[in-house]
Amino acid sequence: MIHEIKTIIRPSRLDAVMDALHAIPGMPGVAMSRVHGYVRLHPHDADPAPRGTEADFVRLET
């Protein structure tokens, strides 16, 4: 049976997740890409300059 895994993780967890994936017998491979996200903290504010936070993550697909 084949399962598909798609996830977005913090870069600090990448080594642990990759070690766990390599331990799975028959794992065909993993595609990895870096992603950058932006989230508005207060979407309903009347403030003309939206405040938010940005973060970098890693996206994995098997």
Q: Which domains does the chain possess?
A: 1-38+53-62 (3.30.70.120)
**Residue 51: pLDDT over 80:** no
Q: Give me the chain's average pLDDT, please.
A: 82
Q: What is the pLDDT of residue 26?
A: 85
β-pairing, 31-40 with 52-61? antiparallel
CB-based contacts of 11: which residues, under 8 Å, 6+ apart? 34, 56, 57, 58
As a whole number, mean pLDDT of residues 18-33 equals 90
Task: Provide the CB-side half-sphere exposure for 54 (13 A, CA).
Answer: 3
**Residue 14: pLDDT over 80:** yes
As a whole number, mean pLDDT of residues 39-51 equals 62
Q: What is the pLDDT of residue 4?
A: 86
